[in-house]
């Protein structure tokens, strides 16, 4: 078994600590153990002090130096793509193909923000007071606290760290305890690329370390991606101190399938959204809402396609679906699936909690005839579990799409321009997918939802500027 011993990374130095947490390869616990030290409040304070100390120097290094550094991070990620993808597969259970895609995307995010660093456009207006001028500038916020999850262990850190640096901020970052080795590999690349020491500081640990970042008075803004419950704690901590916060959480995302769709491509759309990446994407489809007229044919075809998907070792290129990320996730998903199986009404069509699979594997699971009162209709199941809800027509389907306190991503499969235009206007979600899976997003456009899914300014694309800068208005008279 390979053991990877991790260290924190503060002010350009590795800081060792007693390994109190461990993550194992979820497909084979005898293959890899990641030993993780835990940063306490005192160590978090050191990381914040390092970010505060670096802030002025980093900002004043200028946009070209920042842009060049981000571009170097992008090329180093690409240069180490195979090795990073293997590490992600072994640490989180993501299939090698998905992991490679994610690594490429992380590199592209750094490239995109290398460009954005050069385009921090302000405005200059005439003052209403004759002879005076007004300038509007976008200045860095300061020290950004960033807390990331394990499901996109390199892309989510990239879409938080790259814009923070592009706009001149410094960072204290905590990766998830389930993906800290990938986090440390990214941190090593950031250091090797010559990003100024102290501009990015990585502390390892779990909830208490995250909470210490949130409550530290030196942290000027908080960016979080993870669960609904933790997101609320992060927002409360930010409100207490009066600092900016953005929290990206889950969704109970719906795909509405109309009878005028291309059935085969709608099935592929549902299959991809619900089951790939073992359903561990916050934009994954869990509610598949199908017009009754085609529901039998749809369920039959979808079940067949699920059965053709191979569950297996993420490192094996023939594998379509890997394991869940940890034993804890497997227990949680098994409990949630079992609750659905017991619930009156919904019928188990495929998979289910009774399938005794080794390690952290959980079978792709499909329910049919689900109702709005079923647990899966209201609470996120972060695994390969989805349910078909049958509806009479588009109007009933749209009402069901919107019957959720979440609103991250919503999809529609249809051949009709009329329905797609209506859906774009009335579906309640931050991201709308017409004839595309609810999961799978671009890196150059805003990401985020409404309702319980997201809070605060949008992430990614040019929208990232709103969170990572503050607006400064200067009045001048010669
Ligand atoms: P998940 O495990 O489903 O990704 P979590 O919200 O538990 O969701 O974890 C997301 C990130 O938040 C992880 O890095 C985790 O360590 C961190 N975290 C957990 N609890 C807290 C907390 N109370 N305050 C700040 N961060 C936390």
Question: CA 379 to CA 406: how far, in whole Å?
Answer: 9
Instruction: Let me know if 413 is a catalytic residue.
Output: no
Q: In tens digits, what is the pLDDT along the chain, a chain of 478 residues?
A: 999 999 999 999 999 999 999 999 999 999 999 999 999 999 999 999 999 999 999 999 999 999 999 999 999 999 999 999 999 999 999 999 999 999 999 999 999 999 999 999 999 999 999 999 999 999 999 999 999 999 999 999 999 999 999 999 999 999 999 999 999 999 999 999 999 999 999 999 999 999 999 999 999 999 999 999 999 999 999 999 999 999 999 899 999 999 999 999 999 999 999 999 999 999 999 999 999 999 999 999 999 999 999 999 999 999 999 999 999 999 999 999 999 999 888 999 999 988 889 999 999 999 999 999 999 999 999 999 999 999 999 999 999 999 999 999 999 999 999 999 999 999 999 999 999 999 999 999 999 999 999 999 999 999 999 999 999 999 999 8
Q: Count the Cβ atoms, other than its own, within 10 Å of residue 257.
A: 26
CA angle 15, 216, 43 (to 5 degrees): 15
pLDDT of residue 143: 98
Q: Residue 108: phi, psi to the nearest 5? A: -65, -35
pLDDT of residue 70: 98
CA 36 to ligand 1 center in whole angstroms: 15
Closest CA to 8 of 180, 142, 170: 180
pLDDT of residue 344: 86
Q: Count the Cβ atoms, other than its own, within 10 Å of residue 66.
A: 24
β-strand partners of 33: 3, 24
Q: Residue 384: phi, psi to the nearest 5? A: -80, 60
pLDDT of residue 267: 98
CA 230 to ligand 1 center in whole angstroms: 6
Q: Which listed residue (91, 116, 177, 282) is catalytic?
A: 282
pLDDT of residue 345: 85
Instruction: Let me know if 291 is a catalytic residue.
Output: no
CA 406 to ligand 1 center in whole angstroms: 19
The preferred substitution site among 176, 208, 284, 382 for testing ligand 1, maximizing ligand atoms within 8 Å of CB, is 176
The preferred substitution site among 92, 207, 235, 336 for testing ligand 1, maximizing ligand atoms within 8 Å of CB, is 207
Find out whether 380 and 406 touch, Cβ atoms under 8 Å.
Answer: yes
pLDDT of residue 24: 97
Specify the DSSP class assigned to residue 354: T
Q: Count the Cβ atoms, other than its own, within 10 Å of residue 80.
A: 18
């Amino acid at each position: 078994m390979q053991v990877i011993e991790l260290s924190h990374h503060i002010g350009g130095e590795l800081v060792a600590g007693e390994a109190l947490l461990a993550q194992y390869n979820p497909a084979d616990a005898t293959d890899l153990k990641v030993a993780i030290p835990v940063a306490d409040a005192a160590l978090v304070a050191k990381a914040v002090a390092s970010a505060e100390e670096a802030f002025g120097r980093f900002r004043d290094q200028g946009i070209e130096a920042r842009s060049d550094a981000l571009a170097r991070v992008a090329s180093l990620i690409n240069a180490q793509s195979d090795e990073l993808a293997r590490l992600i597969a072994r640490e989180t259970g993501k299939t090698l193909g998905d992991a490679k895609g994610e690594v490429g995307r992380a590199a592209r995010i750094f490239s995109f923000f290398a460009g954005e660093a050069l385009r921090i456009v302000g405005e200059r207006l005439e003052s209403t007071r004759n002879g005076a001028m007004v300038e509007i500038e976008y200045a860095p916020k300061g020290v950004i606290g960033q807390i990331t999850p394990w499901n996109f262990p390199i892309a989510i850190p990239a879409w938080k760290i790259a814009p923070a640096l592009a706009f001149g901020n410094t960072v204290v970052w905590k990766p998830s305890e389930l993906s800290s080795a990938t986090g440390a590999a990214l941190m090593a690349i950031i250091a090797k690329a010559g990003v100024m020491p102290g501009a990015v500081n990585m502390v390892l640990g779990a909830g208490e370390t995250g909470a210490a970042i949130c409550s530290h008075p030196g942290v000027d803004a908080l960016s979080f991606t993870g669960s609904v419950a933790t997101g609320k704690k992060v927002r409360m901590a930010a409100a207490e101190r009066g600092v900016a916060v953005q929290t990206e959480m889950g969704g109970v995302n719906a795909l509405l399938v109309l009878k005028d769709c291309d059935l085969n491509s709608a099935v592929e759309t549902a299959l991809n959204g619900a089951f790939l990446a073992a359903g561990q994407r916050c934009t994954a489809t869990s509610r598949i809402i199908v017009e009754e007229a085609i529901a039998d044919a749809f369920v039959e075809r979808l079940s067949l396609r699920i059965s053709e998907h191979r569950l297996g070792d993420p490192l094996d290129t023939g594998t379509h679906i890997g394991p869940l990320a940890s034993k804890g996730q497997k227990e949680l998903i098994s409990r949630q699936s079992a609750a659905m199986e017991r619930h009156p009404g919904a019928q188990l069509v495929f998979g289910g909690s009774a399938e005794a699979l080794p390690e952290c594997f959980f079978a792709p699971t499909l329910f049919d005839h689900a109702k709005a009162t079923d647990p899966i209709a209201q609470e996120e199941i972060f695994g390969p579990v989805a349910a078909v809800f049958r509806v009479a027509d588009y109007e009933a389907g749209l009402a069901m799409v919107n019957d959720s306190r979440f609103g991250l991503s919503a999809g529609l499969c249809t051949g009709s321009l009329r329905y797609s235009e209506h859906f774009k206007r009335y579906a309640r979600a931050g991201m709308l997918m017409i004839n595309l899976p609810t999961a799978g997003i671009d890196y150059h456009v805003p990401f985020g939802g409404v309702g319980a899914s997201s809070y605060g300014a949008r992430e990614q694309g040019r929208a990232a500027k709103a969170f990572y800068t503050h607006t400064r208005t200067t009045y001048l008279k010669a």
